[in-house]
Every structure is written in C-alpha cells, then in structure tokens.
Amino acid sequence: MPAAESGLKAGDLLLEIDGKDLKGNSDVGTLLRGQVGTSFKLKVQRPGVKEPLEFNIVRRSIQMPTIPYYGVMDGQVGYINLSSFSGNPSKDFKKAFLDLKKQGITSLVIDLRNNGGGLLDQAVEIVNMFVPRGKTIVTTKGKIKQASNTYKTLREPLDTDIPIAVLVNSGTASSSEILSGSLQDLDRAVIVGNRTYGKGLVQVPRSLPYGGNLKITTSKYYIPSGRCVQAIDYAHRNEDGSVARIPDSLTTVFHTAAGREVRDGGGVSPDIEVKQERLPNILFYLVRDNLIFDYATDYCLKHPAIASAKEFELTDADYEEFKNKVKGADFKYDQQSEKILNTLKEAAEFEGYMKDASDEFKALENKLKHNLDRDLDYFSKDIKKMIAEEIIKRYYYQEGAIIQQLKDDKDLDEAVKVLTNPERYQQILSVTAVTAKKE
C-alpha cells in the first residue's frame, strides 16, 4: 500500500494534506484520493514523537487481494481464504491451489466466511476446478427471456478427488452461496459452520443522475439441486444477521446428486453446524473506546519487531499493562446481565410483582453489579486475542490477522477433523447420512 510504503503507521494523527489543516475536516477521504500517479504531502503527529512527521505519498490504483492468505494446516490440510468475488479471484484461487498441491496437501478447506459475493461467473469457475466438465452449476430465471441463463462447467477440472470442506457463516452471501451450495448439491464438499445469508437474487446496476446507481432485481438463481437459496423472510433475522429459523412447512425439499435432503428458502445449511461463542459486552466497549487500538499503537512504539504471526503471544505482563491503562481511563461499560435484569424489572413493575420482589431484585442487582478487575480477568482470553490480532495487523497486515484468528478457530478445527477422517467424510456425503438422521 502506498501509505505504508511511505512510512505512515496506524495510530498516526493526520494534521495536514498539502498544507491544508485537517482539524474538523470531514472531507479527508476525498482529499486523499486523486488521479493515479499524482502525489501529496501528508503531515502527521506520531504518538511518542515530539515533532510532526511529513510524508510524500504517490497515489496508485489499489486492488485488495481476493485471497489474503493460504497455507497448510495440520494433517496436510490445505487452507484458502477467499474474501470476495471481485476482479479475477478464480485465477488467484487456481494459483493458490496448485501451490498447495506442490506442498503435498491431501485435502482442502475453502473459507467463505463473511464473503459477501460478487461475480457469479467467478464462482462457477472455481466450482469447475473440482467437478467434471459439462455440469450445470447455476441457472438464473427471470420474468423475461434475457434474464434467464444457464451456467455450466466448461473446462477440465484440476482435481475431482481431493476431499473439500467449505467454511460458511451468516456473512456468506450471493456468489459465495453459489460456490458452497453447488459443492453441497453435487456432494463434492462438506459444509461447516453456520447457515448462510440467503441472497439468491441477480441484480443489475443502472446509472442515475448525479452519480447515483439503482440495483434492479432481474432474476433468481437456482443451484444444481433446483433450490433457490433466497431467504423467504429478510425482515426477521437473528442478532448476528443470520436467517431466523424457517418452519419446514414453508420450505421445499430438494435432493443432492447422492440423494441427500436439502431445503430452499433460507441460505445454505451446513452439514456440520458449529456453535458460535458469544463475545462479551466489555470487549465491544474496549474496541469502541479505542483502548485496544491505542494500546497496540503504544506497543508498536516499544517493539520494532515481533515474532511471526503464528508464534506471537501476548504475555501476562503485557496484559497487566493493558489492564492498568484501562483502569486509568474513564472507561464505562454495560454487561448483558444488567440489561436483561433491567428489562425484567420493567416487566415486574408493569405486572405488579415489583413490590413483593423488590428485596430479591436489589440482592440480585448487587450480585450482578459489574467489577472491572473481575471482568478483565474473567474475559481475558477473548480480550487478549483481540489485542494480539490488532498488534499483529500492524506488522503483518491482513494476512497476519487471519493467521492469528486461525489459531483458535472452532469452524476450522471441525473441518480439519472431518477431512482427516475419511470414513466420516464419506458418510456425511452419502445418502445413508440422511437415513441415519431420520432414524
């Protein structure tokens, strides 16, 4: 990135662009952007440095990587993180996969979590790497003939035998659902994680005056089993944005190539569902108040270099230092238990129970009253992980952050387990798995 290559660091306070004072200026983003090849002078104040620093930055076109990280996990399991379907991700995916094959992988994990989609044809290209030529991957159906198309695999595959697991969650949408859903329908991969978003619509952008755009829905897409992953009800979702439970009576049963039952109307359901751990409220407040960000900035000033992203660990002494900074700040936060208790008190007041239960409520209120020292210790695992991730990003950027996240990843652990157990893998992908569920 031009800014990083010029010497700019996270935590630097922007003061001036080409001599223009930025204090209270809401157009900083506009001032930073410009024609490729042009340059601008940026003056910043760096924490721990007395005098302002000045950088000359040359603008250039920035293409975010579609595959920010790939590597080999335990058990010779390959891992590819596919973050979007913009640009030409199939080319990058092929390069990563062939490189992993050279390193001797015997199975593959494709991570589509929080991949919001993009180009439909790129999803088809990636599916084509693992299924034979001539397979129908997706069909779009609209009210007019021009909106209806069929997309098939047109090339010879790279590998039709390697076991595959695909990681998905509520942020997996659109083209990501084509990729994961097609591999599921063709019994070519085990899907691990949580139900996907449920976006089964094809939308075409239309230009409007004054630089505006309007997306028009022209058709729905259907994956190999014939189902559409479009969510029946967008209005009612879970707190994490995932599709709420849809009654079976409102959905239709379809079948994979091997005869396994799959349903429409609410995204792609995983073959192996992994329960997601809830993050504590205090962590959100620490992030909101920039306490983790500021600690990482101070940490980097004291440490010119750190261990590799895979080996880096935040020490107990580091965490004690962070705790002292939090306790020295005017830090205020709420706990979920307090919010629920207040809701219960309101209900008791409304229903006339408060008078008889007031002593019990006061006792419970005292028991649940949050204690900063206690909460920082009790939730230290989650907080330390977030701090470590923020620090690693300063040295190793997005790739390093992903490596850090994978060190404690339940979805990935489940994927590796099933890929290193051929008998279980084959059982999940066979129709006998459906029969066993019914029994």
Catalytic residues: 174, 185, 199
C-alpha closest to that of 314 among 381, 408, 403, 397: 381
Give residue 246's Cα distance to chain centre.
23
Q: What are φ and ψ of residue 159, in 5° steps?
A: -160, 115
- Cα distance between residue 371 and residue 390, in whole Å: 25
- Side by side, the strands of the sheet bearing 149-152 are 149-152, 136-142, 213-222, 201-207
333's tokens: 């936060």
- Cα distance between residue 192 and residue 160, in whole Å: 20
**Residue pair 226/251 in contact by the 8 Å Cβ criterion:** no
For residue 221, the cross-strand partners are 140
Neighbours of 401 (CB within 10 A): 20
Cβ-Cβ contacts under 8 Å for 124 (sequence gap 6 or more): 137, 138, 151, 152, 153, 178
- Cα distance between residue 207 and residue 91, in whole Å: 29
**Residue pair 246/274 in contact by the 8 Å Cβ criterion:** no
3-state secondary structure of 21: strand
DSSP 414-432: HHHHHHT-HHHHHHHTSHH
3-state helix, strand, coil in the chain (%, to 5): 40, 20, 40
120-128 and 89-102 helices cross at what angle (nearest 10)? 20
DSSP state letter for 249: G
C-alpha closest to that of 120 among 257, 229, 213, 235: 229
